[in-house]
């Protein structure tokens, strides 16, 4: 049995999670970073507190803070219930329990919401959706990150979408990192190999790296690619 979601859930992660998910070094944190599909993550505001300005893009940013909170609360009980019902699918070294996972997602949401209006005005939260990152210049970012959207929702978004989305991320950034490589059913996304082939045949350097973060059992790999 695995977690089933009808649509993409607005769950957000912290800076500490992003650091583990993407193997972000101190040097990486100083780069010009684009967060694609950042949703209600507290990554952006926590980076700001460290003096780093991140640009986050998400279709969700067309909504008000209240609407985003409502979307979160509409699904959180069901998701945590599904997690509790599938104990074999999860590793608790980071979050320690389903209830703490929920508390950590609520903490990220609260931090995000407090920063949201100011961040929108400052252009740190911008409406945008893959596969077209409209209004962004070629190679205008050092690093583009995509956490818990591409590959994870492979049932909802097809191979063509993934290929186009990842090429678009590499149009606007010198390097990209994507996590996880698993779907919601915990299978490795069938699109990973097609993406790697497409990237190699287009002359990009590409690889898969093991990372410290693992919540979905077996979900501890990140795909990176960069202009050579």
Ligand X SMILES: C[S@@+](CC[C@H](N)C(=O)[O-])C[C@H]1O[C@@H](n2cnc3c(N)ncnc32)[C@H](O)[C@@H]1O
* Least CB distance to ligand X at residue 206 (A): 21
* Least CB distance to ligand X at residue 59 (A): 5
Does residue 60 belong to the site contacting ligand X (CB under 6 A)?
yes
Give the residue closest to ligand X by C-beta: 39
Segment contacting ligand X (CB under 6 A): 6-14, 92-100, 116-124, 212-220?
6-14
Distance between CA atoms of residues 223 and 179, nearest Å = 7
Looking at the Cβ atoms of 37 and 119, the one nearer to ligand X is: 37
Does residue 126 belong to the site contacting ligand X (CB under 6 A)?
no
Segment contacting ligand X (CB under 6 A): 38-46, 111-119, 193-201, 218-226?
38-46
Does residue 148 belong to the site contacting ligand X (CB under 6 A)?
yes
Does residue 41 belong to the site contacting ligand X (CB under 6 A)?
yes
- Torsion angles phi and psi, residue 81, rounded to 5: -60, -45
Looking at the Cβ atoms of 37 and 192, the one nearer to ligand X is: 37
Does residue 9 belong to the site contacting ligand X (CB under 6 A)?
yes
Among 33, 47, 79, 130, binds ligand X (CB under 6 A): 130
* Least CB distance to ligand X at residue 24 (A): 13
Among 129, 159, 163, 164, binds ligand X (CB under 6 A): 129
What is each CA distance from 34 to 8, 83, 165, 200, in whole angstroms?
A: 20, 30, 14, 23
Distance between CA atoms of residues 214 and 113, nearest Å = 26
Does residue 123 belong to the site contacting ligand X (CB under 6 A)?
no
Does residue 147 belong to the site contacting ligand X (CB under 6 A)?
yes
CB of 126 closer than 8 Å to CB of 56: yes
Distance between CA atoms of residues 19 and 149, nearest Å = 17
User: In terms of Cα–Cα distance, which of 41, 33, 34, 36 is closest to 11?
Assistant: 41
* Least CB distance to ligand X at residue 36 (A): 6
Among 30, 53, 59, 139, binds ligand X (CB under 6 A): 59
Q: Which residues bind ligand X (CB under 6 A)?
A: 8-13, 36-39, 41, 58-60, 129-130, 147-149
């Amino acid at each position: 049995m695995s977690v089933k979601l009808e649509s993409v859930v607005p769950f957000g992660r912290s800076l500490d999670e992003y650091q583990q998910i993407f193997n972000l070094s101190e040097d990486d944190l100083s780069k010009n970073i684009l967060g694609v599909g950042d949703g209600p993550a507290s990554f952006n505001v926590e980076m700001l507190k460290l003096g780093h300005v991140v640009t986050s893009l998400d279709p969700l940013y067309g909504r008000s803070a209240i609407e985003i909170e409502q979307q979160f609360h509409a699904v959180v009980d069901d998701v945590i219930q599904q997690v509790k019902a599938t104990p074999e699918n999860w590793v608790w070294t980071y979050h320690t329990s389903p209830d703490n996972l929920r508390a950590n997602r609520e903490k990220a949401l609260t931090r995000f919401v407090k920063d949201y209006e100011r961040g929108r005005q400052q252009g740190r939260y911008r409406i945008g959706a893959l596969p077209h990152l409209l209004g962004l210049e070629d190679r205008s970012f050092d690093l583009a990150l995509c956490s818990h959207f591409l590959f994870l929702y492979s049932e909802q978004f097809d191979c063509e979408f993934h290929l186009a989305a990842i090429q678009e991320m590499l149009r606007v950034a010198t390097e990209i990192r994507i996590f996880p490589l698993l779907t919601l059913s915990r299978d490795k996304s069938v699109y990973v190999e097609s993406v790697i082939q497409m990237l190699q045949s287009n002359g990009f350097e590409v690889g898969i790296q093991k990372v410290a973060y693992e919540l979905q059992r077996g979900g501890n790999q990140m795909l990176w690619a960069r202009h050579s």
